Structure 1
Amino acid sequence: MSNTSGVITALPAPEGYIVDFENPQRRDVVETYVVVGIGMFLALLFLLQRLYVKVVIRKKFGLDDVLLLFGWVMLFSAANPDAEAALEGYVGVHGWEIPIEKFKDFTFWNSYINPIVYAIPPGACKMVILLFFLELNNNAKWFKWSVYITMFVVVGSSLSILFSSIFPCNPIPSAYDLVTDGECIDRVATFKATAAFGVITDVMIICIPVPMVLSLHISTRKKVGLLALFGIGSVTVITSVVRLYLLITILADADQTWGGIFINIWVSIEASLLVMCACLSTLRLFFHTVSPKLFSSGAGTTGKSGGVSGNGLRTIGGTGGGISAGHRSQYNRFDTSRDEPEYDMDTFNVQIKGEPRERDVERAQMKDSGGTWNDPDSSSERAIVQTTETHIYISKA
């Protein structure tokens, strides 16, 4: 500790530096407000669209949604002190221009509380993505085992980091109280391990769906699109790598209050991206519902030859656009939901001449005046999609 002009500080000022406790030199304060505000707002929008899809459209609220809500609340709880720390002036300020009372706030909130709060939420958001992978109904053993192993690594690393953050010292107060003596683990190594496990689990999650996408019987363009969709998650890898680099460089410096604000900024970016990536699986159905025109380009349009383009499915005498059901089902695991319509249905007016026999009348289905089949289960999408062949019995007059 040092005494500067009667004020006790944690660090001595460099020789020749003019200390100003009233107006200390600051850095990245506005940037912190902007990043935290915009990031958490966007994360909230993504979260709301997911909840709308799961609760209103699908009417299914599951474990993954509980984990995501928990993750968002905890990440918001971790990001809010980052902005408050910049406001109160105990980050983004040199250690020799912070009175010892504010420096104690820094060691308590930034060095002790924030790592505890931030230990579990990233793992919760990653579990949401892994649970989505299990819903893809891929029966390949390698796929399921890859998901389960990644889940084990995510949960195990999160719990390890949590307990090492809660009990870093003996006694515990010596972790944040400068005047309490005690024995502590290497806390810098713990922070680095947190970022390193974040990078490892992010890479594992990104790699899981790649072999399955490459094996799909779809065009190369669609494969690239799907890989790009899953590759969006690589953004969190970048933020984790940046945070790891900052931890290695900044924590080696004694003036941690000065560089610590930059770590807080990247933690806020990573937290917001984790929530948004966990909400991507419902994004297509959300826009399909609120703005169906975005997904209606070419689907169900009729050309000059009377055929139907896109995924149009003919109800008489057709095979539904020439794409086999096997190929379609593999692709729709990624691109559609059981709650959203998959095909545009076109019904053709067909007139059959001649008098049918009585037994043929019993087999045939009558058409009403609106041009649709008068079948009690005509609205069943499953029955229509499963129909692969239509037999029409005609007897000559």
Structure 2
Amino acid sequence: MAETRGPAIITGNFVPFFLSLPFFLARLVSRGAILGKFFVDDYVLLAGWIASVGMLANSVVQVKYGAGRHQQDIPVDTISSFLKSGYADRQLYIFSTGMLRSSLCIMSLRIFGTSLPDRIFLWFINILTLTTTVAFMAFNLFNCQPIAMKWDFTVQGHCADDTPGFWANIAVSLLTNVCLLIFSAIKINTLQMHRRQKYIMLGTIGIGWLIVVAIVVRAVRIAHVIADHSDAAWRTFDTSIWSAVEINVSVFCVSAMAMKPFVKKVAPAIMSWLSSGTGGTYGKTTGAVGKTTQGKSQVAQGTRIEEGVMNKEEGIVKVTAVTIREDSDSG
């Protein structure tokens, strides 16, 4: 039986997808079911996520037609289909990564765009992302004339060298991702919020650096094949995996920063359920205690802090002995 790395490709694509999926769904629930409103960045994120689903399905197609096998083990009658699936994968990758970065830009504009320099910076990154996404997709689509030359060796024509476009795409991806990660970390660090909440958000940004790692590793692996085309289907099996890591870490980061309404809605119910199952006291009141001191009534009917989730502009008000106001996150 021919040696294959197909199972590794399938696993490497499906595991990141299903790890990020709960966070993506939690964001949709936060916006649609809890807040009852979708923003532009939600629709852009959805477009990028749909493209990532296409990549997931395409990874199965690529394995079916030869990805992860030695060149000599790929049946001649499937080579054309294998090349078509690779062509589709590149288009989906460019579109998905572009939409995910644009979604983060738009969300950051809504949350952090309080000053003119910040808005100019974020608009610059977003316009750069969108224009280069369109340009790279167009170049990848039309760099062979006729287009069928990409998968049909019998067709006569001309293909432009796609190496400059590949490196330009890598450079723009690295630049925009690094800028967004650093900008987000700086802005989160300046927010007035509970230290634990701030650490969680900074941790989310920290995980986002896996995107940069994935871009670099993927670029290095493909660069080796550009220099030496021999046995490409076997040697580049992990480029699909690193693409999946990059995209799904992006989905996680963009989703996690906007799922606070979901967490606030679900977490107390889960904790209450856990405590009721173990005989705990979470969620129980301490009873009514009343006494009068110098004519002033002191009543403690329960000791839990009340929290009211308001709209984004109003923020979150926590009522304790005093009223504390803190800015809301993207939720």
Q: What whole-Å deviation, never above 9, does each CA across 1:333-361 have from its counterpart, x for those lacking one?
A: xxx956875303569xxxxxxxxxxxxxx
2:253 corresponding residue in structure 1: 277
User: What is the 5 A alignment of 1:250-269?
Assistant: 250-253=225-228, 254-269=230-245
2:154 corresponding residue in structure 1: 179
Of 50-59 and 216-225, the range deviating more from structure 2? 216-225
Q: 2:122 aligns with which of 147, 152, 156?
A: 147
User: What is the 5 A alignment of 1:238-257?
Assistant: 238-253=213-228, 254-257=230-233
Relative CO higher for 1 or 2, CA cutoff 8 Å, sep ≥ 6? 2
- 1:39 positional shift: 2.1
Paired amino acid for 2:25:
L
Paired amino acid for 1:120:
F
Paired amino acid for 1:53:
S
Q: 2:172 aligns with which of 193, 197, 216?
A: 197
Q: TM-score, normalised by structure 2?
A: 0.78
More helix by share: 2
Task: Report SS of the residue matched to 1:135.
Answer: helix
- 1:124 positional shift: 0.9
Of 144-153 and 223-232, the range deviating more from structure 2? 223-232
Contact kept? 2:69, 2:234, Cα under 8 Å: yes
1:32 equivalent to 2:32? Answer no
Q: What whole-Å deviation, never above 9, does each CA across 1:291-346 have from its counterpart, x for those lacking one?
A: 138999xxxx99xxx9x9xx969xxxxxxxxxxxxxxxxxx9xxx95687530356
Whole-angstrom CA distance in 2 between matches of 1:45 and 1:346: 36
Q: What whole-Å deviation, never above 9, does each CA across 1:11-64 have from its counterpart, x for those lacking one?
A: xxxxxxxxxxxx22212x222222222222233322211111001111101221
Paired amino acid for 1:178:
F
User: What is the 5 A alignment of 1:78-93?
Assistant: 78-86=55-63, 88-93=64-69
Whole-angstrom CA distance in 2 between matches of 1:165 and 1:24: 32
Task: Report SS of the residue matched to 1:279.
Answer: helix
Contact kept? 2:14, 2:56, Cα under 8 Å: no
Unaligned runs of 5+ in 2: 273-284, 287-297, 326-331
* Cα-Cα RMSD: 3.6
Task: Report SS of the residue matched to 1:209.
Answer: helix
Whole-angstrom CA distance in 2 between matches of 1:137 and 1:191: 32
Paired amino acid for 1:83:
V
- 1:166 positional shift: 0.8
Report the CA distance shift for 1:138/1:187 in structure 2 as closer, same or farther (over 3 A): closer
Q: 1:234 aligns with which of 189, 202, 209?
A: 209
2:33 corresponding residue in structure 1: 56
User: What is the 5 A alignment of 1:113-192?
Assistant: 113-136=88-111, 138-192=113-167
Q: 2:78 aligns with which of 102, 110, 113?
A: 102
Report the CA distance shift for 1:180/1:275 in structure 2 as closer, same or farther (over 3 A): same
Q: TM-score, normalised by structure 1?
A: 0.66
- 1:99 positional shift: 2.5
Whole-angstrom CA distance in 2 between matches of 1:277 and 1:287: 15
Task: Report SS of the residue matched to 2:50.
Answer: helix
Task: Report SS of the residue matched to 1:206.
Answer: helix
Aligned length: 302
Whole-angstrom CA distance in 1 between matches of 2:149 and 2:34: 51
- 1:216 positional shift: 5.1
Contact kept? 2:95, 2:133, Cα under 8 Å: yes
Whole-angstrom CA distance in 2 between matches of 1:179 and 1:165: 20
Unaligned runs of 5+ in 1: 1-22, 314-331, 348-383, 387-397
Whole-angstrom CA distance in 1 between matches of 2:17 and 2:192: 39
Report the CA distance shift for 1:295/1:192 in structure 2 as closer, same or farther (over 3 A): farther
Task: Report SS of the residue matched to 1:343.
Answer: strand
- 1:184 positional shift: 1.2
Paired amino acid for 1:280:
A
Whole-angstrom CA distance in 2 between matches of 1:216 and 1:43: 26
Paired amino acid for 1:290:
V
Report the CA distance shift for 1:80/1:192 in structure 2 as closer, same or farther (over 3 A): farther
